[in-house]
Chain A
Amino acid sequence: MIKKSLILILLIALGGIFFSLFRSFTPQNELPDVGKYYAENAMEQVGAANLVTAVVVTYRGLDTLGEVTILFLTAAIIAFFLKHTNPKTKEKESKPSEILQTASRVLAPIIFMVGVYIFINGHLTPGGGFQGGAVVASGVILLILSNPNFKLNHRLITVVESISGLSFVIIGVLGIFLAGGFLDNSLLSLGTFGTIFSAGAVPIIYIFVGLKVGSELANIVATMNQE
């Protein structure tokens, strides 16, 4: 009883906080200073049609590197903890339904293609490395779900992941020597605005981010499957 009333009081207090936030909200008609700078200068400085990508990969590139590192740590920790618990207790697997098996055969290539499309076109259309990587990983999970004996090549995944992570950092460091600073994208020519070969190193970085995120998320689920 006391517990329930406490929860109720807490909920009402939270509601009060959010309501006062809602009441004091006034819509802004112009961008704040940093946003204005990005919106005005990103087109010449970065050359990416998608402003969000321009901010995520170049202006705030270091933060993206941090996010990728956190994801890598998560995958590594999960693999570490699941590796040593019961190695071989393969009980009899029930077969997945016919619908799932057939649908996964049709859908998996399309899902992979959409994922790759999203991260290759990250500098032109909404989306990017993280989103595309997640889509690719969900394709892999679909394959695992539809076929319990599906074996993911762990060595290949590890190699892909390491190489893409390393390339991301190398491109960033190259920026210090060949362009304005760490993760500066102008070490390659900016190209024509709005075409696929534009925005300098941004598409390359996003392809690596996409591969890294996709392989990491797929690896997490594959480790869970083997356990």
Chain B
Amino acid sequence: MVFTIVAFILGIIMITAAIMAVGQKKLSTAIIAAGVVSLLASVLYLLLAAPDVAMTEASIGSGLTTIIFFYVLNKIKKTND
């Protein structure tokens, strides 16, 4: 029962963050929102007893991808200035 409630809350936050990631005008906010989706997904994997998948999601999905997006955003801003 507790698991269902936690999963439900996580799901709602994930959907909100996903919509934000698509619709947000400010790019840095959108990147962070996309990272939040991955991070909460990894928490969900952990709750579903899949620590290996959770680790992959946390390190690649929310770690590497977010950093690379920020990095590229920075590069583009520098080129535009």
Interface residues of A in 133-154 (CB under 8 A from B): 134-135, 137-138, 141-142, 145
Which among A38-46, A124-132, A163-171, A175-183 touches the partner chain? Answer: A124-132
Q: Which residue of B lies closest to A115 (CB)?
A: B59
Find B64's partner among A52, A91, A141, A145 (CB 8 Å cutoff): A141
Interface residues of B in 33-65 (CB under 8 A from A): 51-52, 54-56, 59-60, 63-64
Majority SS at the chain A contact face: helix
Q: How far is the CB of B11 from chain A (nearest CB, A)?
A: 12
Find A141's partner among B55, B71, B75 (CB 8 Å cutoff): B71
- Chain A, interface size category, equals 20 to 34
A-B pairs with CB below 8 Å: how many? 45
Find B55's partner among A91, A131, A137, A217 (CB 8 Å cutoff): A131
Spell out B's residues near A (CB within 8 Å): 51-52, 54-56, 59-60, 63-64, 67-68, 71-72, 75, 78
Q: How far is the CB of A32 from chain B (nearest CB, A)?
A: 16
Query: Any chain B CB within 8 A of the CB of A116?
Result: no
Complex CA distance for A135 and B59, rounded to whole angstroms: 6
Q: Which residues of chain A are near B63, meaning CB under 8 Å?
A: 134-135, 138
- CB of B59 within 8 A of CB of A134, answer yes
- CB of A134 within 8 A of CB of B52, answer no
Complex CA distance for A46 and B36, rounded to whole angstroms: 37
Given contact pairs A91-B78, A126-B51, A217-B64, A134 touches B56 in the complex (Cβ within 8 A): yes
